[in-house]
Amino acid sequence: MGIIVQKYGGTSVGDVERIKNVADKVIKTFDQGNDVVVVLSAMSGVTNDLLRLANEASDNPDKRELDVLLSTGEQTTIALLAMILKSRNYKAVSLVGSQADIRTNNISGNARIMSIGSGSINQLLKDRNIVIVAGFQGYDVAGNITTLGRGGSDTSAVAIAAAIKADMCEIYTDVDGIYTTDPRICTKARKLEKISYDEMLEMSSLGAKVLQIRSVSFAKKYNVPIHVRSSFNEEKGTMVVSEDKGMESILVSGVALDRDQARVTIKKVPDIPGISARIFTPLAEGDVSVDMIIQNTRSDSRTDISFTVTKNDYKKALEISNRVADEIGASGVICADQIAKISVIGVGMKNHSGVAASMFQALADENINIRLIATSEIRISCMIEEKYAELAVRVLHDTFNLDKNEAIQS
């Protein structure tokens, strides 16, 4: 018995029948004696339908009004679930973002949760209500409706769990947990029993799109245990939790692949102080988000600077780079968009060397050229040609024995 927050994504509430299945799961948890708060996304497809309407209305829909429009999606699902629960004689109350007192900043379309007033939810729970909260939305200090950006319902759920000090935040989705790598690419991929927040952060930012990255940061900050599991079966999924001793004994937890990458290299940049700022400030001003940056010093007191961006930002990055290259007297710009980033992740790396070497050797054995390397404390990423992406995933999965439980021990 405890306080459980359950979040159901768009496919889990895709139609009224599925929402009835959600009701079954909610009731089961409630009948076990738990307090239950449910956070819902919009029915799958609804957000896209609303975006289509918005684009009919305007080529560049106003962001404040887009939030007013999009927030109706979750409002619909919470009302439907509450109706279903009440028709089964359970007390239930739906709350939109402002009613749940989910206060955000005023960045329409990509707002951040600033605070959650837990008073109303706590009171409703005390009165034995199942509380159903619209995910993805909040309101700002001026009373405007805001949304948290795509996938924001995960963050809503974790933030509510933190605010009401829930014992568990269950994220129900259409996959049944976090895998060592993408099972569609590597059939040996194995579902992880648990994973640390930090590993999950590296995984999700690298394209394993099960959990929104911001929700994981939130969970880490407030130490909210997350259980990622399928809404279509009763299996246990993957726990996302604080690092523990057992985890550190595992060198590598997963292999992540991100195909949404493009590389820009500015050749023969004069190697003088402040030159990096002259390159990256215009990119930031152009809203281009830069991922990896590598600088190779050459023998001629000039340097090649390479960086990667998402394919979406590629064209804009190229334009800006060409302009900047002219201004700073670089020799030119070369680029590539047929590339992918492959990463191995594991908290165990922190205390062990040799992971990078094993990774590079494994790729070399397959004649896969590494174009860029970037690392964090618990991650090593290599940029490779896109055509080798899937091969690389399988090779690294084998190299680190990820198909076996607790494969590489310290």
- Binding test (CB under 8 A) with a copy of itself, winner from 2, 16, 276, 338: 16
CB of 378 to a copy of itself, least distance (A): 43
And the tokens for 282?
Answer: 């215009």
Residues forming beta bridges with residue 196, ordered by sequence position: 241
Span 113-152, contacts to a copy of itself by CB under 8 A: 120, 143, 145
**Which window, 25-33, 80-88, 253-261, 321-329, contacts a copy of itself (CB under 8 A)?**
80-88
Among positions 37, 82, 262, 380, the unique one binding a copy of itself when judged by CB under 8 A: 82
Part of the chain binding a copy of itself (CB under 8 A), chosen from 79-87, 242-250, 259-267, 355-363: 79-87
Residue 407 binding a copy of itself, by CB under 8 A: no
Q: Which residues contact 17 (CB under 8 A, 6 or more apart)?
A: none
Among 4, 36, 38, 96, binds a copy of itself (CB under 8 A): 96
Ramachandran region, residue 207 (left: φ > 0; alpha: ψ -120 to 50; beta: rest): left
Maximum Cα–Cα distance for the chain, whole Å? Answer: 78
Considering only 3, 66, 250, 359, the residue that binds a copy of itself (CB under 8 A) is 66
Q: Find, among 205, 209, 225, 98, the residue nearest to 158 by Cα.
A: 225
- Residues near a copy of itself (CB under 8 A), total: 38
Q: Which of residues 21-60 bind a copy of itself (CB under 8 A)?
A: 50, 53-54, 56-60
CB atoms within 10 A of CB 114: 14
CB 133 → a copy of itself: shortest distance, Å?
12
8 Å CB contact between 80 and 21: no
- Binding characters for a copy of itself, 212-231, by CB under 8 A (x = yes): --------------------
Neighbours of 294 (CB within 10 A): 16
Segment interacting with a copy of itself (CB under 8 A) among 70-78, 108-116, 197-205, 223-231: 70-78
Out of 44, 61, 109, 304, point to the residue binding a copy of itself (CB under 8 A). 61
Tell me which stretch binds a copy of itself (CB under 8 A): 64-72, 206-214, 344-352, 377-385. Answer: 64-72
Whichever of 82 and 195 has its CB closer to a copy of itself, that residue is 82
Task: Output 105 or 144, the one with its CB closest to a copy of itself.
Answer: 144
CB under 8 Å to 194, separation ≥6 — which residues?
238, 239, 240, 241, 247
Q: From residue 261, give the alpha-carbon distance in Å to each of 53, 242, 258, 308, 401.
A: 30, 30, 7, 6, 27
**80: contact with a copy of itself by CB under 8 A:** yes
Amino acid at 358: S
| Cα within 13 Å of Cα(201), Cβ side | 19
Using rule CB under 8 A, residue 98 touches a copy of itself:
yes
Region at 303 (left for phi over 0; alpha for psi -120 to 50; beta for the rest): beta
Q: Nearest Cα to 108, choosing from 134, 80, 159, 71?
A: 71
Interacting residue ranges for a copy of itself, rule: CB under 8 A: 16, 19-20, 50, 53-54, 56-62, 64-66, 68-69, 71-72, 75-76, 78-80, 82-84, 86-87, 93-94, 96, 98-99, 120, 143, 145
